[in-house]
Amino acid sequence: MADKTATADEVVAGLEDGMTIGIGGWGSRRKPMSLVRAILRSPVKDLTVVSYGGPDIGLLASAGKLRRVVFGFVTLDSIPFDPWFGRVRESGAVEVTEYDEGMFAAALSAAAQRLPFLPTRAGLGSDVLRVNPGLRTVRSPYADGEELVAVPAQELDVAFVHLNRADARGNAQYLGPDPYFDDLFCLAAKQRIVSVEKVVETGDLLDEGPVQSLLLNRSTVDAVVEAPRGAHFTTAVPDYGRDEAFQRHYAECAKDPERWPGFADRFLSGDERAYQKEVARFAEEAK
């Protein structure tokens, strides 16, 4: 059996400028943040990022990595707006494809099912059609004759997702309440990278969750990165919840051009180990 374990820097070294990358999770929930941080350290640029967006988008924006964002929202959940996404939108520094949340899922589903598009009612009558002039509608060939939005397949070069457990072969498990769309991201992608809190033996996967929690099987995973606290500062329940104090600190610094260089220098200039160490120090200082 192939051992698919790798480091974040190894998998990110495989990225090329201009690639389309899908990032799993939802808002500020179970985001593969250690992989995002690895992208920040790499020279790769001009990325199209497809995401139910949270601070993954914010951090990539802060480092000038984004050419285009495909999104339905970008939010930090407990804080409504990500300041960096606001800044790059308001300065015109990124292009966007803005979809309804359901259209976004349809775009990934179409890619996963190798269909050119999927029909949906969502989007009709809204400005999603105006701001995406390439979108087309399709007429039902049946007696109803309904005219629906034909959401084009959103194929991905690479998918990054963060789950709770996996074995070294790539069977991966979520232990929280919601799988989000992580399996769909993997099915829509040519290359699938999963980071996890902990790599365990295959035989131990069912120790912590039911069989239904095995979201990804190894045929849809190319690399496994062990990344304890790798979703920080987003949630990875039940391993840990969102680090609200740190997220507030991130948002405050992101809002303030004078404070951001200090934040980036302290937390983002080193490797993942340095990041986690500084986060621990930050938590100590806050006590």
Partner 1 sequence: MNDASRAEVAIVAVAELFRGDGELLVSPMGLVPSIGARLARLTFEPDLLLSDGEAYLLDAGGAVEGWQPFRKMLEMIVPHGRRHVVMGANQIDRYGNQNISAIGDHERPVKQLLGVRGAPGNTVNHRTSYWVPRHSRRVFVPSVDVVSGVGYDNAAKAGPSAQRFHDVHRVVTNLGVFDFGGQDHGMRAVSLHLGVEAAEVVEATSFEIELDGAGVTRLPSAEELRLIREVLDPSGSRDREVRS
> Which residues contact partner 1 by CB under 8 A?
26, 52-53, 71-75, 80-81, 85-86, 89-92, 98-103, 105, 109, 120-128, 130-131, 146-148, 177-181, 184
Q: Which is nearer to partner 1, 30 or 192 (CB)?
A: 30
Q: How far is the CB of 51 from partner 1 (least distance, A)?
A: 11
| Neighbour tally for 226: CB within 10 Å | 18
Q: How far is the CB of 211 from partner 1 (least distance, A)?
A: 15
Q: How far is the CB of 206 from partner 1 (least distance, A)?
A: 19
Q: How far is the CB of 100 from partner 1 (least distance, A)?
A: 4
Q: Which is nearer to partner 1, 15 or 24 (CB)?
A: 24
Handedness of CA 152, 109, 161, 267 (dihedral sign): positive
Instruction: Name the region of 115 (left: φ>0; alpha: ψ -120 to 50; beta: rest).
Output: beta
Angle at 228 between CA 226 and CA 232, to 5 degrees: 120
Burial bucket for residue 82 (CB in 10 Å: 0-12, 13-18, 19+): buried
Residue 270, both tokens: 């080193």
Q: Which is nearer to partner 1, 68 or 266 (CB)?
A: 68
Q: How far is the CB of 5 from partner 1 (least distance, A)?
A: 28
Q: Which is nearer to partner 1, 160 or 180 (CB)?
A: 180
CA distances from 217 to 29, 31, 210 (A): 22, 19, 14
Q: Which is nearer to partner 1, 52 or 267 (CB)?
A: 52
